[in-house]
Amino acid sequence: MTAKTLSVLTALLLTYCELGCAQGRPERHGVWVDGALGAGWVHMSSDTLGGRSQNGIDGIIALGWTFGSHVRAGIGWAQWTSGLGVGKRTWITSYDVLVYYYPIARRPFFLEAAVGSVDYSVVHAAGERADSVYFSGTAWGPTVAVGWDASLGSMFSVRPRLSYSYGPPRSLHSPDGTLVATGWKQHVLSLDVGFVFHPPDSR
């Protein structure tokens, strides 16, 4: 009984100290900028096409404002591509409004929700630019993610993040307006690592 009582008292003391330390840290506040690179897996299907999957590369640029220790928000651009170099490439591009929620104040773990315009296109890349679009289509879709901010000092953090994005059904058209596919949708699962710049009190 004495050992159990001592264990409970120790746990309570550690919890009290941890809460006290958290209260002593500065509240998150200010501008942030995030650039990230990672890997993504995409599953695509349509009314006439059976499901198929592709692996690719993700790139993210985002910026916004930290409102406090629980919430930050901003806007972002994300690009998934099936590969680099010349030839036929699949691109999935999204422009999102982002909200990050930190369940425990002044702790690095966060939940993310976003919504934005999602464009799916297949292009022929010649050199470093796409000189022709085979077909494309745009819809509004959601993204959810989890991650954490690992501090590298007072103004920089490394941000691992796992996300899932959904591209709702839409029609795909060629550049001349010809209907290529209907009910086209995609699911994107990504794991990326970001490098975040922020003022000293916005970690």
Please state the rounded mean pLDDT for residues 156-181: 89
Helix (H, G, I), strand (E, B) or coil at 56: strand
Domain coordinates of the chain in residue numbers? 2-197
CA distance 16 to 21: 9
Confidence of residue 42 (pLDDT cuts 50, 70, 90): very high
Nearest CA to 156 among 192, 112, 194? 194
Fold annotation for 2-197:
Porin (2.40.160)
Give the Cα separation of 52 and 112 in Å (integer).
27
Task: Work out the percent of the chain whose per-residue pLDDT is above 90.
Answer: 43
Which of 154 and 14 is assigned the larger pLDDT? 154
Question: 72-81, 127-136, 174-183: which has the highest mean pLDDT?
Answer: 72-81
| Measured distance CA(33)–CA(101) in Å, rounded | 16
pLDDT of residue 27: 64
Is the predicted pLDDT of residue 16 greater than 50, yes or no? no
Rounded alpha-carbon distances, angstroms, from residue 192 to 3, 75, 137, 149, 203: 45, 17, 25, 13, 19
Percent of the chain with pLDDT over 70: 77
Question: Residues 111, 116, 121, 126: is their CA dihedral positive or negative?
Answer: negative
**8-22, 54-68, 108-122: least confidently modelled range:** 8-22
Mean per-residue pLDDT over the chain, rounded: 81
pLDDT > 50? residue 125: yes
The gap from C-alpha 55 to its chain's centroid, in whole angstroms, comes to 17
Is 139's pLDDT higher than 60?
A: yes
pLDDT for res 172: 87
Maximum C-alpha span of the chain: 81
Over residues 78-100, the pLDDT tens digits come to 999 987 666 678 889 999 999 99
Those residues whose C-beta lies under 8 Å from the C-beta of residue 201, and which sit 6 or more positions away, are: 26, 27, 28, 29, 30
pLDDT value at 14 more than 70: no
More confident call, 3 vs 18: 3
Half-sphere exposure (Cβ direction) of 79: Cα atoms closer than 13 Å? 10
Decide if 56 contacts 43 (C-beta within 8 A). Answer: no
- Average pLDDT for 30-47: 92
Instruction: Identify the CA nearest to 109 among candidates 197, 13, 22.
Output: 22
Question: Using CB atoms within 10 A of its CB, is residue 7 exposed (0-12), middle (13-18) or buried (19+)?
Answer: exposed
